[in-house]
Amino acid sequence: MSSSASPLTKTNQSRRPRRLRTTPAMRDLVAETRLSPSDFILPLFVADGLDAKREIASMPGQYHHTVDTLKAIAHEALDAGVTCVDLFGVPVDGDKDARGSVAWAEDGILNRGIRALREEFGEDLLVMADTCLDEFTDHGHCGVVGTDRFGNEVVLNDETIECYCHMAVSQAEAGAHIVSPSGMMDGQVAAIRRALDEAGWDNVAIMAYSAKYASSFFGPFRDAVRSSLVGDRRAYQQDPANARESLLEAELDIAEGADFVMVKPALPYLDIVARVSDFSPIPVAAYHVSGEYAMIKAAGNNGWIDPEAAMMESLTSIKRAGADQILTYFAIDAARKLHA
């Protein structure tokens, strides 16, 4: 093409950004965002009453684990370079009650799982524990249910926090390095920090679910924890329409002593991840949740997308938005891809 016909003017002719996209080596050289296996936190489910691991139907490739298979998958994670797991306990229905009291029982399934991992790995693997009651209550809410003065059923904030404190201390005693309150009760971080410190566990960190939205993307997770919930959690989880509220929640959790803050879900809320990371003086995590995972798996299994490419693109976008840690069910697969 002659210079007279070129759409490039003399002033911008030397600027050809495509020069930095020509080969894989060139693209890698100038990549602005880099994923590392150490960025990932692997959520795992340990279930009571099983004699073998069982695949979760709505989350292909994810399992309800026995204590033994839990240790085996944690070894796989560590071998791939993933150094932190987030553990959820799934009790048998007969152990559920209105307060979720098996959540802090020494022989409860979650504390047994924590203890097994800590005994197996010592300090080589970081063990984070979910500090919430929804898996353990017979009604499926994240706390103690009561009534307000008008007779409406509500989750009672302060009574619930008392249970979270019992749960966090029991998790620390079982060996958790990090506790992760996810119930969105006001003041939960301050209360848990105080309870841990008073019990002598001042070295146990808190990852606060600071901006947890009442999201439709949690559906497969509720299947995974065999939730008893009827209804929704919109009265205490955040409205998807709101953004400033997330900044307030994160600011409060930081002031109350959180060691990490988290945004959940990740992909529909990348704007929130970016805004929180802009001001947070502490690490910012994002949870690539069950629905996000299940959509990629389903589309991939149907041949509609390249699931591996979609996995890596999704995780890169979360890191690009500002997340320091990413909780993802793809942790092992993504870590192995990075090593390939």
Nearest to 227 by CA among 290, 142, 157: 142
**Helix (H) or strand (E) run with residue 304 in it:** none
Q: Is the pLDDT of residue 260 over 90?
A: yes
Specify the pLDDT at position 227: 75
What's the pLDDT band for 26 if we cut at 50, 70, 90?
very high
d(CA 221, CA 228): 12
What's the pLDDT band for 12 if we cut at 50, 70, 90?
low
Number of H helices, E strands in the chain: 11, 12
Domains for the chain: give ranges and CATH numbers: 35-339 (3.20.20.70)
Phi, psi of 262 (to 5 degrees): -135, 150
Strands in 195-310 per DSSP E: 205-212, 260-264, 284-288
Block residue for tokens 């119930």: 183
Specify the pLDDT at position 216: 87
Q: Under DSSP, is residue 86 helix (H, G, I), strand (E, B) or coil?
A: strand
Catalytic hit among 53, 212, 297, 319: 212
What's the pLDDT band for 11 if we cut at 50, 70, 90?
low
Helix, strand, coil abundance in the chain, percent, nearest 5: 45, 20, 40
Specify the pLDDT at position 120: 98
Contacts (Cβ under 8 Å, ≥6 apart) of 235: 154, 155
Specify the pLDDT at position 25: 95
Catalytic hit among 53, 71, 96, 264: 264
- Judge whether 212 counts as a catalytic residue: yes
Phi, psi of 212 (to 5 degrees): -110, 115
Residue 96 C-alpha from the chain's centroid: 23
Mind listing the pLDDT tens digit for each residue in 161-203? 999 999 999 999 999 999 999 999 999 999 999 999 999 999 9
What mean pLDDT comes out for the span 279-289?
Answer: 97
As a whole number of Å, the end-to-end CA separation of the chain is 41
- Judge whether 53 counts as a catalytic residue: no
* Cis-peptide into 265, omega within 30 deg: yes
Q: Is the pLDDT of residue 323 over 70?
A: yes
What's the pLDDT band for 1 if we cut at 50, 70, 90?
very low
Block residue for tokens 């499926």: 140
Nearest to 99 by CA among 13, 148, 161, 23: 161
**The one-letter amino acid at 120:** E
